[in-house]
Amino acid sequence: MPNSHIPVITIDGPTASGKGTVAARVADRLGYHLLDSGALYRLAALSAVRAEVALEDERAVAQLAEVLPATFSNGDIFLAGEEVGALIRAEEVGNNASKIAAFPAVRQALYALQLGFRKAPGLVADGRDMGTVIFPNARLKVFLTASVEARAQRRYKQLIDKGFSANMDDLLADLQARDERDTHRTVAPLVPAEGAYILDTSDMTVDEAVAQVLHWHTLL
Ligand code: CDP
């Protein structure tokens, strides 16, 4: 592959583990590109809902994902020219994303798009299967996790900060359901990649987690 020499750091982990924030900060510090792969699944789910395609229809959702009109620019996320960065953070979009992400045809449809993010000088990719499936030859692989309570707290704060309403009990139940689906699906289940460093951030600040990943990076 022509770009296989370009360094990749993968940061995988369960929902609300903080991997998005950590990945963005690490990319910023290293001057690397960023792939928020979860955003692609969220965009595909939003596309399907807008096109009134049933989320259970694997083929139809995959067809939409194959030609997803997604663009990323300076932290903004566009779907067919409309800025939807905040909108796709809604819990409903996340839950729908998790449902369609279980379909092999949908994952396959988004495969080439994800590989295209590997550009010089390097890439930080966050998601569920970055180190296991999409970039198995990544230079550094991290599996970021945290207790379900810590993750529910973080998601609660994130939603409130973004102006969404949130209920702690519902969030805990949603998180557990999403963990269950992401971990037990047959394609690209959420598991640490071979050789991944495991980072439990339950009692860590974002700065500490970023510092740890950058430290591992310097060891390579
Ligand atoms: O913010 P959160 O971690 O909940 O979600 P996300 O990273 O934006 O991803 C949304 C959903 O897409 C997840 O629940 C996963 O089911 C799915 N996903 C995936 O299957 N593979 C990826 N590489 C990234 C996300």
Query: Could you read off the pLDDT of 48-95 as tens digits, one per residue?
Result: 999 999 999 999 999 999 999 999 988 899 999 999 999 999 989 999
Say what the pLDDT of residue 3 is. 86
Gap from CA of 181 to ligand 1 centroid (Å):
11
Specify if 26 maps to a domain: yes
Specify if 3 maps to a domain: no
Gap from CA of 65 to ligand 1 centroid (Å):
15
**Domains of the chain: total:** 1
Specify if 1 maps to a domain: no
Specify if 212 maps to a domain: yes
Say what the pLDDT of residue 59 is. 98
Stretches in the chain below the pLDDT threshold 50: none
C-alpha span between 218 and 44 (Å, rounded): 36
Query: Comparing C-alpha atoms, which of 104, 101, 161, 159 is closest to residue 127?
Result: 101
Gap from CA of 38 to ligand 1 centroid (Å):
4
Specify if 158 maps to a domain: yes
Gap from CA of 61 to ligand 1 centroid (Å):
16
Mutate to test the pocket of ligand 1, among 22, 37, 91 (most ligand atoms within 8 A of CB): 37
Specify if 2 maps to a domain: no
The domain containing residue 211 runs over which residues?
8-218
Nearest CA to ligand 1 atom 15: 98
The set of protein residues with a Cβ atom below 6 angstroms from ligand 1 is: 15-16, 37-39, 41-42, 94, 97-98, 101, 127-129, 178, 182
Strand order, beta sheet including 140-145: 33-36, 123-127, 8-12, 140-145, 197-200
State the average pLDDT for the chain: 95
Gap from CA of 208 to ligand 1 centroid (Å):
23
Nearest CA to ligand 1 atom 11: 98
Say what the pLDDT of residue 25 is. 98
Nearest CA to ligand 1 atom 2: 15
Are the C-beta atoms of 126 and 35 separated by less than 8 Å? yes
Query: Comparing C-alpha atoms, which of 77, 60, 61, 59 is closest to residue 69?
Result: 77
Ligand 1 atom closest to the Cα of residue 126 is: 23
Q: What is the CATH number of the domain that holds 144?
A: 3.40.50.300
Say what the pLDDT of residue 1 is. 63
Task: Name the β-bridge partners of 163.
Answer: none
Nearest CA to ligand 1 atom 20: 101
Specify if 128 maps to a domain: yes
